[in-house]
Amino acid sequence: MWPCDRLSRSRTRFGRAHTMAAPLKSLVSDDGRYQTAFQLFLQRSSEHQCMLDFIHTQLPDILASVGDGKPHLNVIGVGSGAGEIDLEMLSELHQKHPAATVDNEVVEPSAQQLHNYRVLVSQKPELSFVKFSWNQMTAAQFEERWKLKKTTAKADFIHMVQMLYYVKDPGATISFFQHLLSEKGKLLIILVSGQSGWGKLWRTYRHQLCNAEISQCVTTADIESYLESTGVRYRSYELPSQLDITECFSEGDGTGELLLDFLTEVLDFSKTASPELKAGVLELLRHPDCSVETQGRVIFNNNLGVLVIDPQS
């Protein structure tokens, strides 16, 4: 059972008053504001830089072993966003397997993000070794379609970068995609690390902040527990990363409010959360468990975890 499921069940059983009188709206219910908040988060954090460091230093060795010398490789990217990270990974794959052509399935529900990804691809003629298939859909819809079509093809490399928060059952999603791996395939997952400020925030305010419809407050520590309980083999890496959240503490600052929406995943958090919840979250965000204060800035621990999963044995 998934940690969130366990918690929501105990909540029902004991009838505890964790739910708010007027439930807070999830940020993901407003794709426009979600995407704007995500762009701001990328500007204010070292999120993509730490991923790129990983992709350029550690990923090449991982990719060297996929495919087993095949002339053609199948890749699936789930929750690809605008594709910046996916394209870096494809480029490393190409360097390790320069003679191979690649079929790349892109699974991304946001029309805007998919459009941005296509624009990026159109600007890179060096990607001629890749054939892109664009799937504007969620991971669950992709799974349903795959099963309906009874597709038997196997994938050599599957990645889910900062995506598993948005599925209902991360364990089932991992299991489905792991079963698609070829014998020498790899499934790569990136999420916030259990040691990050996010982990602390979610352990403290899970009942108030986390959307029960999706897993949302999941860290690599949760996924590792799940993988260990099911006997799945994996390797893990910790990527140090930071997020400047200074503006969150300036009442009425638009940038701070948008960042707070992203941190809490609540739409218009500053305006809709109770004064107690707002005060508690702000206090925790600048607590040393979550952030360090340096040169007048509040720097939130945005460490990421990477998990590399082998095929089912």
Q: Binders of ligand SAM among 94-113, rule CB under 6 A?
A: 107-110, 113
For residues 278 and 84, give the distance between their C-alpha atoms in angstroms, rounded to a whole number. 34
Shortest distance (Å) from residue 123 CB to ligand SAM = 17
Q: How many CB atoms lie within 10 A of CB 126?
A: 9
CB atoms < 10 A from the CB of 234, how many? Answer: 20
- 85, 127, 174, 267: which one binds ligand SAM (CB under 6 A): 85
Provide the token pair at 213.
């419809």
CB of 155 to ligand SAM, least distance (A): 16
Does position 171 bind ligand SAM by CB under 6 A? no
- HSE (side-chain half, CA atoms, 13 Å) at 247: 17
Does position 62 interact with ligand SAM (CB under 6 A)? The reply is: no
**CB of 76 or CB of 232, closer to ligand SAM:** 76
Q: Which is nearer to ligand SAM, 110 or 208 (CB)?
A: 110
Please indicate if the annotation marks 47 as binding a ligand.
yes
Question: Tokens in use for 58?
Answer: 């550690």
| Of residues 144 and 283, the one with the C-beta less far from ligand SAM | 144
Q: Determine which residue in the list 74, 138, 264, 302 makes contact with ligand SAM, applying CB under 6 A.
A: 138
Report yes or no: 243 and 299 within 8 Å, Cβ to Cβ.
Answer: yes
Q: Is 305 in the site for ligand SAM (CB under 6 A)?
A: no
**Residue with the closest Cβ to ligand SAM?**
81
Which phi and psi angles does 159 have, rounded to 5°? -135, 150
Q: Nearest to residue 126, comparing CAs of 156, 161, 91, 100?
A: 91
The alpha carbon of 154 is separated from its chain's Cα centroid by a whole number of angstroms, namely: 23
Does the annotation list 303 as a binding residue? no
**Residue among 191 and 298 whose Cβ is closer to ligand SAM:** 191
Q: Binders of ligand SAM among 36-55, rule CB under 6 A?
A: 38
Q: How far, in Å, CA of 264 to CA of 35, rounded?
A: 15
Interface residue with ligand SAM among 36, 91, 101, 162 (CB under 6 A) is 162
Largest CA-CA distance found in the chain, in angstroms, rounded: 60
List the end-to-end C-alpha distance of the chain, in Å, as a whole number: 22
Residue 106 CB, shortest distance to ligand SAM, in Å, is 10
CB atoms within 10 A of CB 164: 26
Q: Residue 210 or residue 277: which is nearer to ligand SAM going by CB?
A: 210
Q: If binding is defined by CB under 6 A, does position 78 make contact with ligand SAM? A: yes
Position 142, amino acid: F
Interface pick for ligand SAM out of 27, 93, 163, 307 (rule CB under 6 A): 163
Distance, C-alpha 35 to centroid of its chain: 14
Tokens read off for 176: 């489905």
The site that binds ligand SAM (CB under 6 A) totals a number of residues, namely 18
* Segment interacting with ligand SAM, rule: CB under 6 A, options 12-20, 98-106, 120-128, 161-169: 161-169
Name the site residues for ligand SAM (rule: CB under 6 A).
38, 78-81, 85, 107-110, 113, 138-139, 161-163, 166-167
Residue ranges of the annotated binding site for substrate are 47, 302
